Homo-oligomer: A and B are copies of this chain.
């Protein structure tokens, strides 16, 4: 059962509760770390052969070839529910449109005679996307990772995903990959999939950046290859924080909290409210709605372990808890949600008002559903076009301008003891 914390009894308990939340998902190293290192080393050295061995061991299928064929993709797409295909296509279009607004232009600063400075934008050339398999494969994950890369202009998008026991890849995943414009797909899951992308094999091209969610093996593998390639982030379990006042409908609030709680027993669903009445009504609603949901057991554990209803003494206090928690998903179900935007400093995505529930963002509206978890919204951003674009600085001085400033440059170079740096300026004006 979810706990209610009333801050009118002092804020100490709230602080403890928040700390417990923030400590939820520290990665454990040691054993797992070493076995992931072993997998990565073997794939780096033995390439496709190692992929095939690990796939037999972990996924229970011996593959002849690890690449998914054009025919497999066509067959999957054609055998999907046409209504699902239509919904995914509309969602992909929304994701495309939203991410196109994120594109920035290269620029040049030319306001000083004889000087031009700027920044040139280029897409990362090759990107890898990890898509989990297992019992509930998520086509939305494919869209949210591949479409922004496509919009950024990435020329090669490589997807890896674990095959089922019969050697196939889930048809919805393959259909989503076709819709999103993924270039090539390989059957390689877990740490072996990440290693294949990071180092390349005979079949799998080496990429420069790896994105996408995964289990603990995938997370640790991404951490290990980070630096050789770039990665998106280390994602933790999902979270929602609903910030609500007395105008909120408790039924909606409860339903939205449950939509996160069902993800994972480690997921966290929090209500912060200024209304004691709402707090108790939401608690009741949570129990009522949970009873009829298919993932009831996960939900009950998640709410008991990482759920909380916090009653704040006023909206300022409520906002301050919110910024401290820095939730992945923040719903503002209050009278004037837009007015609160400027008070929110740390959140992955902000859902405004009673008709913008979190699943709207997960699947459809357009903004990315890959969001910073576990308080990392204090320093990370949602996945976006910027993740697939890199910049080069541009510097031009003409002879006159360099001559004008040569003494200052030489001064700093010499203060740092770097005489060859100073010489590179001097040699031009001997």
Instruction: List residues of chain A with CB under 8 Å of any chain B CB.
Output: 27, 81, 83-84, 86-88, 90-91, 98, 101-102, 104, 107, 109, 115-117, 119-120, 122, 124-125, 135-140, 172, 208-209, 223, 226-227, 229-230, 234, 251-252, 255-256, 258-259, 261-263, 289, 293-295, 299, 330, 337-338, 341, 344-368, 371-372, 376-382, 384, 386, 390-399, 401-402, 405, 407-409, 411-413, 415-425, 427-428
Alpha-carbon distance between A262 and B294 when the two chains are bound, in angstroms? 66
Which residues of the partner chain B approach A422 to less than 8 Å between Cβ atoms? 359
Alpha-carbon distance between A421 and B422 when the two chains are bound, in angstroms? 63
> Which residue of the partner chain, among B172, B354, B396, B405, contacts A353 with CB atoms under 8 Å?
B396
| A430 to B, closest residue via Cβ | B251
Are B124 and A379 in contact (CB-based, < 8 A)? yes
Are B423 and A258 in contact (CB-based, < 8 A)? yes
Alpha-carbon distance between A344 and B420 when the two chains are bound, in angstroms? 27
Smallest Cβ distance from A192 to chain B, in angstroms? Answer: 20
| A351 to B, closest residue via Cβ | B395
Tell me if A's interface is mostly helix, strand, loop or mixed.
Answer: mixed
Are B117 and A356 in contact (CB-based, < 8 A)? no
Alpha-carbon distance between A353 and B397 when the two chains are bound, in angstroms? 8
Which residues of the partner chain B approach A350 to less than 8 Å between Cβ atoms? 120, 392-395
Alpha-carbon distance between A379 and B372 when the two chains are bound, in angstroms? 20
Knowing A349-B393, A357-B428, A379-B208, the reply to whether A367 touches B293 (Cβ < 8 A) is no
Are A427 and B289 in contact (CB-based, < 8 A)? yes
